[in-house]
Amino acid sequence: MTLFYGTPLSSRLMLGTAQYPSPEILAEAVRNANAGVVTVSLRRESAGQRAGQAFWNLIRDLGVPVLPNTAGCHSVREAVTTAQMAREVFGTDWIKLEVIGESDTLQPDMFALVEAARILSEDGFRVFPYMTEDLVGAERLLRAGCEVLMPWGAPIGSGKGLNNLFGLRALRAHFPDIPMVIDAGIGVPSHAAQAMELGYDAVLINTAVARAGNPVKMARAFGMAVEAGRMAYIADPMEARDMAVPSTPTIGQAVLA
């Protein structure tokens, strides 16, 4: 069983809560995905509307652990302050740490990420760092106190799948005992299954479910793919070969030519 900061999850699918057509569809998608975690965020609240309170009530009713994020932060200070605010509001020391370094790709700023991770870890946070697949950066994050890594598959919301298979394989192989989650870029269930077949411990998905024509059905498809991919990994897949090898026995084959 994989533990994330000592906590087992009910499933290996982490689901984002943004961009759904309605709160009802969001709730139904979370249930159909059998999500083990849902991600949440913080934004400015209007005193009159209290939209945040209604959303938080809906999430609490689902009974799924929450992972707050620092989405939209571009500096260490912004990310640290946002994490502190999230800890108070959501009542958890888990934080999905995002420090964005480049606006077009939303690529993580690995230097700022390591610094923010160190500050937050020393302050008692359990940091889930949204990172590139950089091996040196991963090592620095672990030294900064992270016990989970969350490399991107592709830019957030792109649906491109796993852009750098070699890099993701290398990362998995270098840190075999660290719980790792592919976060961002997954577009269809086969991408999620592929991530799990590589030996990743979980995937985090949002746009691919929320923006599907039928988010509830897609949520269920992702849940099945994650389960299938994990089972395939445990079952130890065969090695790929460059040349064909007959699967039907050749011994005893008739000579008819």
Binding site for another protein (CB under 8 A): 16-20, 26, 39-45, 47-48, 50-53, 55-56, 59, 68-69, 71, 77-78, 81-82, 84-86, 88-90, 156-157, 204, 206-207
Q: What are the CA-CA distances from residue 105 to residues 131, 152, 157, 241 (Å)?
A: 13, 11, 10, 35
β-bridge partners, 126: 94
Residue number, 24 or 45, with CB nearest to another protein: 45
For another protein, give the closer residue by CB, 85 or 165: 85
217 in catalytic set: no
Which residue of the set 12, 96, 126, 172 is catalytic?
A: 96
140 or 156: CB nearest another protein: 156
Token code pair at residue 77:
């200070």
CB of 248 to another protein, least distance (A): 48
Least distance from another protein to the Cβ atom of residue 56, Å: 4
Identify which of residues 118 and 140 has a Cβ nearer to another protein in the complex. 118
Separation CA 69–CA 203 (nearest Å): 15
The least distance separating another protein from the CB of residue 17, rounded to whole angstroms, comes to 5
**Burial of 211 by CB count in 10 Å (0-12 exposed, 13-18 middle, 19+ buried)?**
middle
Give me the least distance between CB of 50 and another protein, in Å please.
6
Q: Are 81 and 123 in contact (CB under 8 A)?
A: no
Region of 141 please: left (phi>0), alpha (psi -120 to 50) or beta: alpha
What is the length of the chain? 257
Which are the catalytic amino acids?
A: 96
